[in-house]
Amino acid sequence: MDQFKHELKNLFVEKHLYIFMLDFCGFTPMIIDIDLTHLECPRPIYIKLPIRFAYNDDNDHYIDFGDGIINIISSKEIENHCYKEKDKYQIQIYGEIEAFDCECYYTNATQRVKYTYITKIQQYGTSSIKKINFYGCNNLIDIPDYLPSSVTDIKWLFFSCEKLNKDLSKFTTTQITDMSYAFAYSIFNNSLDSFDTSNVKYFECMFLHAQKFNQSLKHFNFQNALSHYDFIEGAFSLNRTKIFLNI
């Protein structure tokens, strides 16, 4: 099999043809829209995508950066990519993605960079992604209607998202174990009636300073909760008569 893969790569010298073959074989990429036009920095522009590939996946990963460059990635993380022009691009990522984690690369708050250039997640692709968050994606305006059933961790989901107020009624959350900080410091204010929290262990700061949130949480199940401190701290719009939390 390895020899066949090597020969196949040699056969399709043009990376665009290899991407075509992946599409033809039913490999659906993750698709991300980015906008570099508003960035106040000189050209060229270097960006890093918050993608981590699965550690148990030894296959190569293919990233079409939307500027005519397609890279083959053998490592578990994507290196910085250089864009020569301030423009809008659509990125397609083929491979077994473990996490879309905007918070993971920084060890303290002073090092964190806001992913202001990410504007839309078109689709998650066919990978068995485990962790998703859009920490600091201030210009993110849309994500898919669904949450992949493989996801178990949505810590920091909409943290500090200033433009995203998504209808989450189609989200399946039965498998989620960590919802901490999910809506903290965000503008989110939509119903969470579809959320099943029976398997969630970590609720801490879930609505911390979510100052626009004012939805019912009566149905939330805390039977497996290990941590829930500051769950609604600073959520000043929340009508306390709507919650009656059984913690």
pLDDT band at 190; cut points 50, 70, 90: very high
Q: What is the pLDDT of residues 30-50, one digit of tens each?
A: 999 999 998 887 888 999 899
Determine the Cα–Cα distance for residues 9 and 223; give it in Å rounded to an integer: 51
CA 82 distance to own-chain centroid: 21
Q: Which pLDDT tens digit goes with each residue over 75-132?
A: 777 888 999 999 999 999 998 899 999 887 554 554 455 689 999 999 999 889 999 9
Residue 188: name the closest of 216, 164, 205, 157 by CA. Answer: 164
Amino acid at 107: T
Name the one residue in this structure whose structure tokens are 């148990």: 56
Phi, psi of 92 (to 5 degrees): -120, 130
Q: DSSP assignment, residue 90? A: E
What's the longest Cα–Cα distance across the chain? 66
Q: What is the pTM of this model?
A: 0.85
